[in-house]
Structure 1
Amino acid sequence: MIRFAGLVGAALLVATASFAQQADQPVLKGEAAFGDWRADRPGVRRLIRPEDMQAPYVTESVSNGPGVVERPEEAKPILPPGFSAEMIASGIANPRVVRVAPNGDLFVANSKDSQIRVYRLAEGSAVPALRSIFASRLRRPYGIAFYPPGDNPQWVYVANSNSVVRFAYRNGDLKAQGKPETIVDKIPRKSHWTRDIAFSPDGKTLYLSVGSYSNVGEEGMGKEPEGGLDAWVKSKPLGAAWGLEDGRADVLAFDPDGKNRRVVATGMRNCAGMTIQPATGALWCVVNERDSLGDNVPFDFATAVREGGFYGWPWYYIGNNEDPRRKGERPDLAGKAIVPDVLMQAHSAPLNIVFYDGKSFPPDYRGDAFVALHGSWNRGVRTGYKVVRLKFRDGKPTGEYEDFMTGFVVSDEAVWGRPVGVAVAKDGALIVTEDGSGTIWRVTYDASRS
């Protein structure tokens, strides 16, 4: 890591000083919503609609990965009035998904070190009373789920890059008591490797997301599948890809024992995070869309997943926008790609989502969702690197989202944090992981501070 403390401090001062001026601004729409990190701060709201989509190549496609700098001791995320963040842990190689066990323990996938960590916090505190390595020698673990859903799970399921395994579990276990049992195997592991998992509310269905192999099917996927397109279309789900992309860019479903594999939805380039909406029982995905079409094309998104739905990849995006790199290949799919529910700035890289069902935040947060944006690499000026709040009304998304947790970007060249995981703790706090500096945060609300 590069040391960049001066710039971090300057960025924090600028953001804090301008927060009050930004919090009451109107919702940013159209091109006004296509800003960069310099316009980000808690309270800034955006509404991006399908008709706001620019044509491809309006701007040049660039490679602009972040320089990750050392987090200075005084640097903290910036939050709305009344909220504060305390650090739970730091120095973790690659903290990714975080999930909360029924007893309140935090299970964290430390993907680079191939392990699952557990943190048990002291009551009302960010201080871990206990910490442990629950399981190790995994293969880039990411998604975590407890089964059956409810207060008394018997198993912890873990999604490796190439499989789903489970460990026998009883509430309060800090270490796995036995070897992992493989439930789903032969999952393609290369390229997009972030496999998330979730169970349906009734516990009968295990969902698994599998991202694409390539950006837009340019590697290992010819214009037509072996045996011809007509035969493929008749035997496969709508929008299914082939070659090295066969079984990828999909959300899959299984019985809890790993049997009865089926395809739930296709055409999702990389559904890197899944969750169940408590109010409706619907499965939601956050999706990283494709690269190299310009700074603002196409939008990333969050969406309820429709059974049998096709979301466009690789031929179309955000509805009926045809990718010029695959132009004319699938006219049969024109008009069949679903428009997602919530559109976000292109290249924001959403990695995880959770619905807020706690009671410690203000009442208007209940039923909304938090999404962790890992941040752009394929954009001239950075976007993402924050946690946003998706607004819902009566269980339905309004399409609007609001900056909630910012302050991770230092300058046009450097960042100290890259949010990945979001979860709601048993006490209603929001738990956030970020893999730039390898930290875990506990976000709480106190009305007296607002």
Structure 2
Amino acid sequence: MPTKPNASLFAFALSFLSFVTARANAQPALLRGQDAFGDWQRDKPGTVRLIRPEDLPKPGATPSAGNVSRVVPRPAAVTPQVPPGFKIELFADGLSGPRIIRTAPNGDLFVAETRAGRIRILRAAVGASKPQVSEIYASDLNRPFGIAFFPGGDNPQWVYIATTDSVVRFPYRSGDLKASGSPETIVANLPHGGHSTRDIAFTLDNRRMLVSVGSYGNDGEGLGRPPGGLESWSRERALGAAWGYETDRAAVLGFDPDGKNRKVFATGIRNCVGLAIQPRSGAPWCSTNERDGLGDNLVPDYVTRVRENAFYGWPWFYIGGNEDPSHAGERPDLKDKVTVPDVLLQAHSASLGLTFYEGTGFPAEYRGDAFAAEHGSWNRSRRTGYKVVRIRLKDDVPTGEYEDFVTGFVVNDSDVWGRPVGVAVARDGALLVSEDGNGTIWRVSH
């Protein structure tokens, strides 16, 4: 005679199964290697990706695509997506192409409205979901992008702004809403044309000013073999010997804070759009746009620590000793001198703004990690990017993994409503994200 099921045991089994299922669902999906290559339809907050140099396809494995997105108004009631436990809300709108955001020590938000040639200040009460003050701090600037306060600490005396062809500064007192007087030019002759963004950061000891300058072209069109070796190229900036447009470009430049003693800090970085100093280690980091034209999954964009005097490959090599077919045989002497970046991102994501999270508003495991804004692809058959990612660190060292954190800016295969650019941590620990498609800033809290 069959035994009667034990109701309590059955209930326990169901409860345990539900617990295991919930735990499994709570664990982020980890996509490795080629599984990490995807498109906007696979993006989801919490999805983690790990791409290694050995995962890369051969150049031309897929055709080079032209797939430019069309920016449309944000659909009614649509908001970006964030991980469970987080909340995202519209912080500001009606802005003119907001790009880099930087938080002043007093909590004011400095926003570069690059196309409009101005810097705006937004002031919000701690924890507020909207700014109470919006003022133009400075205008008539030549495509301003990077913003930095100097010296570091609670009482900076200057606001530095990197325009497309110069670095200028304004005297600053905490709480200023308007620039005092005309800008003082600190660096007058930054290379310009081509990639136009220039970011700026100061080392923790306040002794060096770093400025990122992207390449003029895509992959060094027309470059041959400069005289000397890598040391000569870095020291004498001989990259422009074959094609003058690339002199002092695809690099991070170093200066004294007064703009003197110009040197090349690191080279071979095609376009370091986002430049940031890691607060704990003091290491400079770059959020980098790599080259186009080699297929859907080449060349990965990346976020990396930038070591002084290091060479990151552009234009002759990429992601280590992988030779660019456009420069086959030109610089075999450089193959073993290429520094491999720390975190490889889906190719053509267009990684822009970068910030480190040291706030207390997010769970403890987020402290020390970085966030990067992905502006979105045009050179990929299936759209990618258009999101904000979390760069995972362990003991302040990048693991190589990155996680989708804010998604939902793509409408369909043709249309997008948002293109993330800037990321900053507000004084209350919220993460602020700018997008220049519809001119908005979003606030992420926990």
1:403 aligns with 2:404: yes
Change in CA separation of 1:239 and 1:332 when aligned onto 2, cut-off 3 Å: farther
Deviation at 1:84, TM superposition (A): 1.1
Q: Residue 137 of structure 1 corresponds to which residue in structure 2?
A: 140
Q: Residue 98 of structure 2 corresponds to which residue in structure 1?
A: 95
1:73 aligns with 2:71: no
Give the one of 23, 27, 45 matched to 2:48. 45
- Cα distance per residue 1:136-188 (max 9 Å; x no partner): 00000000000001100110000000000000110000000110000001112
- Cα distance per residue 1:121-142 (max 9 Å; x no partner): 1231121111100000000000
Q: Which amino acid aligns with 1:171?
A: S
- Cα distance per residue 1:293-341 (max 9 Å; x no partner): 0000111101110110000000000000000001000011011110001
Q: Which amino acid aligns with 1:120?
A: R
Give the one of 180, 184, 204 matched to 2:183. 180
Q: Pairwise mapping of residues 227-306 of structure 1 onto structure 2 (< 5 A)?
A: 229-230=227-228, 234=232, 236-237=234-235, 241-242=239-240, 243-306=244-307
1:415 aligns with 2:413: no
Q: Which amino acid aligns with 1:275?
A: A
Kept in 1: contact 2:225–2:331 (CA 8 A): no
SS at match of 2:371: strand
Deviation at 1:30, TM superposition (A): 1.0
* Distance of 2:288 and 2:180 partners within structure 1: 35
Q: Which moved more, 1:296-305 or 1:71-80?
A: 71-80
Higher gyration radius (CA) = 2
Q: Residue 5 of structure 2 corresponds to which residue in structure 1?
A: none
Kept in 1: contact 2:125–2:132 (CA 8 A): yes
Kept in 2: contact 1:240–1:266 (CA 8 A): no
Change in CA separation of 1:276 and 1:94 when aligned onto 2, cut-off 3 Å: same
Moved over 4 A (4+): 20-23
* Distance of 1:44 and 1:293 partners within structure 2: 26
- Cα distance per residue 1:248-278 (max 9 Å; x no partner): 0010010000001011100000000011111
Give the one of 30, 35, 43 matched to 1:32. 35
Structure 2 residues without counterparts, runs of 5 or longer: 1-22
Deviation at 1:189, TM superposition (A): 1.5
* Distance of 1:43 and 1:143 partners within structure 2: 29
SS at match of 1:128: coil
Q: Residue 442 of structure 1 corresponds to which residue in structure 2?
A: 443
* Distance of 1:364 and 1:61 partners within structure 2: 39
Q: CA RMSD in A?
A: 1.7
Give the one of 38, 62, 67 matched to 2:65. 62
SS at match of 2:228: helix
Q: Pairwise mapping of residues 12-23 of structure 1 onto structure 2 (< 5 A)?
A: none
* Distance of 1:234 and 1:189 partners within structure 2: 23
Deviation at 1:108, TM superposition (A): 0.2
Change in CA separation of 1:238 and 1:357 when aligned onto 2, cut-off 3 Å: farther
Q: Residue 431 of structure 2 corresponds to which residue in structure 1?
A: 430
Kept in 1: contact 2:234–2:309 (CA 8 A): no
Change in CA separation of 1:68 and 1:22 when aligned onto 2, cut-off 3 Å: farther
Deviation at 1:231, TM superposition (A): 8.1
Q: Which amino acid aligns with 1:88?
A: F
TM-score after normalising by structure 1: 0.91
SS at match of 1:91: coil
Q: Which moved more, 1:181-190 or 1:23-32?
A: 23-32
Structure 1 residues without counterparts, runs of 5 or longer: 1-19, 446-450
* Distance of 2:174 and 2:251 partners within structure 1: 32
* Distance of 1:144 and 1:27 partners within structure 2: 35
Kept in 2: contact 1:268–1:311 (CA 8 A): yes
Deviation at 1:76, TM superposition (A): 0.9
Change in CA separation of 1:371 and 1:238 when aligned onto 2, cut-off 3 Å: farther
